[in-house]
Amino acid sequence: MAVEESVAVLLKGYPRLSETFIAQEIRALEQRGLKLRLYSMRHPTDKKRHPIHDEIEAEVNYLPEYLYQEPMRVLRAWRKLRRTALYGTAVRVWLRDLKRDRTPNRVRRFGQALVLAAELPEDVRHIYAHFLHTPASVARYAAILSLRPWSVSAHAKDIWTSPAWEKQEKLADCAWAVTCTAIGARHLAEQAVLGGVSAGRVRLVYHGLDLARFPSAPPRGRADGGDRSAPVRLLTVCRAVEKKGLDDLLAALGRIPKDLSWRLEHIGGGPLLPALQAQAAALGLQDRIEWRGALAQADVIEAYGRADLFVLPSKIAGDGDRDGLPNVLMEAATQALPALATNVSAIPEFIQDGVTGRLTPPGDPQALCLALEELIRKPEWRLSLGRASEARVRATFDFSAGADHVAARLGAPQIGADTPRDEAAA
């Protein structure tokens, strides 16, 4: 009797509230007939889960997060693999990387790769990693050790903060790569060519949204900031990290004329929350802002429904980190919630300034303030932008085509590899 083949999906952490798009893809791959085995490099830290996590059938296996926590597991893996044909090759690749990246992180990744390669069941025929930085390192080493092909889905930080040599060598070694923005695809295609392979190794596959998971857009109010009993409700959903530009948002809000009535709701965790709350207090804004922390998707959708304007002032962080195309912008659009964002990275691939939303320059609180004031005062314009953004997301960013493409690459039955929205990066 033939053994059903499976795909090992390697994740940095699972489950994560901030990575709904990954959970969405995993469930879609299962629905397209693929048997998956999930491997996570980190244990979950979020206290809540999205409903989609409970729909996923594959069990998750956790690699040693730190090697000292499970030394015998690492030792058993090493003993099993050290006499195999490609152990020496894997060590040489890792040592070459270690010479250019002398960090404990690099040592930990090889140990995790040993465990992954040693514990993969025989039915696993392919390793598929999410993120081009550390997960792809573990996937690459494990693929060499276990004589399996591997592929990668690249996203945002992993593209823009990884060194060029690492991107080039990983793209040369992997079977294929996909990424979720045109700007990221162009960059990785250039890196692939510099690494000696065709630009066609990289494909643009938008995540999109499973629109069936979002309710119909609710009716919107027409608050214009003139009534203190009915403030304009601003919403932002993001982690409190530098690239999200929340410090610019607070600076902009501090400049809005005092006669305008508004409230801001922030959803998300993150290391900069204490500093941002202190900034809000220094600006005298603390009574107008509600910091809600990380929430499950149902609560986030509810927040989209009651807001008047979504704000996400993304920018390029000091280390080069930046957004790709944040899913929250598309999620807000499903609810006809207009968005004010910045023209950085792939955001203009979704928001057309003045048509489906508003864009301001990144890192410019004054421009952000002027746009906020105008949108607060003009509810009819907000409603028009919201309707246009909903039409765009529903016409262009359904997730099915992207899920079909990845499923076909991974060998799902009865799915063709080419889809109408699948585009080469070249």
pLDDT, one tens digit per residue, over 115-161 is: 999 999 999 999 999 999 999 999 999 999 999 999 999 999 999 99
105 close to 98: Cβ distance less than 8 angstroms: no
Distance in angstroms between the alpha carbons of the first and the last residue of the chain: 43
pLDDT at 338: 98
What is the per-residue pLDDT across 157-201, written as a single tens digit (0 to 9) for each? 999 999 999 999 999 999 999 999 999 999 999 999 999 999 999
Give yes or no for residue 65 having a pLDDT over 60.
Answer: yes
pLDDT of 413 reads 81
pLDDT score, position 1: 43
Q: In order of start, what are the domains of the chain with their CATH numbers?
A: 6-207+399-424 (3.40.50.2000), 215-396 (3.40.50.2000)
Instruction: Write the pLDDT tens digit of every residue in 69-115.
Output: 999 999 999 999 999 999 999 999 999 999 999 999 999 999 999 99
Q: What is the pLDDT of residue 79?
A: 98
Distance CA 88, CA 67 (A): 21
What does the pLDDT average to over 406-425?
65
- Long-range contacts made by residues 349-352, C-beta under 8 angstroms, separation at least 24? 349/181, 349/182, 349/183, 349/325, 350/325, 350/392, 350/393, 350/397, 351/389, 352/392
pLDDT at 423 over 60: no
Instruction: Give the per-residue pLDDT at 414.
Output: 64
From 351, 275, 287, select the one nearest 313 (Cα to Cα).
351
Band of residue 415 on the pLDDT scale cut at 50, 70, 90: low
Mean per-residue pLDDT of the chain: 94
Per cent of the chain over pLDDT 90 is 90
Picking from 239, 310, 253, the residue whose alpha carbon sits closest to that of residue 285 is: 253
pLDDT reported for residue 18: 86
Tens-place pLDDT, residues 315-358: 999 999 999 999 999 999 999 999 999 999 999 999 999 999 99
What single-letter amino acid sits at 202? V
Contact criterion met (CB below 8 Å) for 306 and 366: no
User: d(Cα 21, Cα 284) in Å, to the nearest integer?
Assistant: 36
pLDDT, tens digit (0-9, with 9 covering 90-100), for 189-242: 999 999 999 999 999 999 889 998 899 999 999 999 999 999 999 999 999 999
pLDDT > 70 in the chain, percent: 96
**pLDDT of residue 64 exceeding 50:** yes
pLDDT score of 3:
58
pLDDT at residue number 46 = 86
The pLDDT of residue 248 is above 50: yes
Mean pLDDT on 54-77:
97
CA nearest neighbour of 396 among 341, 356, 340: 356
| Residue 52, pLDDT score | 93
The SS3 of residue 75 is helix
pLDDT, average across residues 417-422: 42
pLDDT score at 5 = 94
